[in-house]
Amino acid sequence: MTAESKRIRVEYYAQFREKRKCSGEEITTSAATAIEFYRELDAKQPFGLFSAQIRIALNGKLVPWETAITDGDTVVFLTPFGGG
Amino acid sequence: MNLQAAFQLSTEPIDTTLLSRTLADDAAGAFVSFEGRVRNSNEGQKVLSLEYEAYVDMAISEGASVIDEAARRFDLIGALCVHRTGSLSIGDVAVWIGVISGHREEAFAACRFIIDEVKLRVPIWKKEHYVDGSTDWVAPPSVDAR
């Protein structure tokens, strides 16, 4: 596993947006997978959200947490939906 | 088949009359619509207003795939779903779904399918503002169960 740094765009919605007080940011990371990336962000500044309910979208598609992230990806953390 | 199918987000109030007129086809023997409205209470709390927030790109693509799936599964002639975003008051239409098909069975079933799938799959979040001044992001328990 390489530890090359990559630029990831994170967009925040709903509770995540309120916790971070912004709608998104560019992060340079060496995280290999989505879960590593989430843990890195949460360790730096805890989101304070119940992580068992959180899912992840990579470039607009729901993906498993173990999915590899690559330079230029857009990541969105999803709390349970409330539409309808 | 000349299928009319779409999923849209709207920051403006939903004109349900206009939407139902767009679903017109001489082969359609049935038109069924569902309107989700803002209720004045939730789990014992008195609701004053609410906000819907969407992850727009994914909401549009997931919503479109729900509509396409419904159209195929129920052999629809047309299907349309519009979901509000932004600030809503009590009684406002939060979501509107309309389908047309040859017969009523498919239309009823498709309408139900679309609202259930939209709730599960489309990234939209709801923040309720209560009469006592507090707020909360709410999701139906069924979302976690599936």
The string of DSSP codes covering B119-146 is: HHHS-EEEEEEETTS-EEEE--HHHHH-
In this complex, the residue of B61, B121, B139 whose CB is nearest that of residue A82 is B139
The domain segmentation of chain A, as residue ranges, is: 6-78
CB contacts < 8 Å between A and B, how many? 72
User: B54 and A83: CB-CB below 8 Å?
Assistant: yes
> Quick one: CATH architecture of B4-145?
Alpha-Beta Complex (3.90)
User: A84 and B118: CB-CB below 8 Å?
Assistant: yes
Residue B144 has a pLDDT of 46
Q: What angle do CA B101, B123, B98 make, to 5 degrees?
A: 20
Residue B145 has a pLDDT of 44
Give the distance from residue A13's alpha carbon to the nearest chain B alpha carbon, in angstroms. Answer: 7
In this complex, the residue of B57, B61, B83 whose CB is nearest that of residue A83 is B83
Q: What angle do CA A62, A67, A73 make, to 5 degrees?
A: 75
Residue B142 has a pLDDT of 53
- Nearest CA to B47 out of B127, B140, B139 is that of B127
pLDDT band for position A2 (cuts 50, 70, 90): low
> Per mean pLDDT, which range of A1-5, A71-75, B89-93, B141-145 is the poorest?
B141-145
Homologous superfamily of A6-78: Beta-grasp domain (3.10.20.30)
Residue B2 has a pLDDT of 46
In this complex, the residue of B57, B123, B127 whose CB is nearest that of residue A81 is B123
* List of chain B residues with pLDDT < 70: 1-4, 142-146
For testing the chain A interface, which of B37, B42, B55 should be mutated: the one with the most A CBs within 10 Å?
B55
Which residues in chain A are contacts of B137 at CB distance < 8 A? 14-15, 79, 82
